[in-house]
Amino acid sequence: MYEFSFFVTQYKVNMTSLYLLLGGNIGDKQTIFSKVWTSLNLKIGKIASQSAIYETEPWGFESPDLFWNQVLELSTNLSPEEVLAQTQQIETELGRIIKGNQYSSRL
């Protein structure tokens, strides 16, 4: 008679919780947020939790378009520099143009 033993080895990867704030007030906000969630999952890490989406008035400037804001918690093994590079790439891919004025409408 033969006896078989199976062992499963788990490799623990150093994951860090990362909190990101999303915000934008122009374009199709539902589509843009959906694309951001997909891109973050693929390029940075799994979305572990998320807040509700809050619709807010612009602050510091006038605009007829309300902002959507949301906080995400991601699990990642990327360095802060890698996260910054990836988030900037996602913004560029989605068409964000950074203006000189900190307070302005944006994707």
pLDDT score for 100: 66
> How confident is the model over 83-98, as a mean pLDDT?
88
Q: Is the pLDDT of residue 83 over 90?
A: yes
pLDDT reported for residue 62: 86
Residues in the chain: 107
Instruction: State the DSSP H helix or E strand holding residue 105, giving kind and residue range, or none if neither.
Output: none
Helix pair 29-43, 80-93: axis angle to 10 deg = 140
Mean pLDDT across the stretch 15-24?
90
Question: pLDDT (tens digit, 9 = 90+) per residue, 33-81?
Answer: 999 999 999 999 999 999 999 999 988 888 899 999 999 999 999 999 9
Instruction: Report whether 70 contacts 33 (CB < 8 A).
Output: yes
Buried b (16+ CB within 10 A) or exposed e, 5-14: eeeeeeeeee
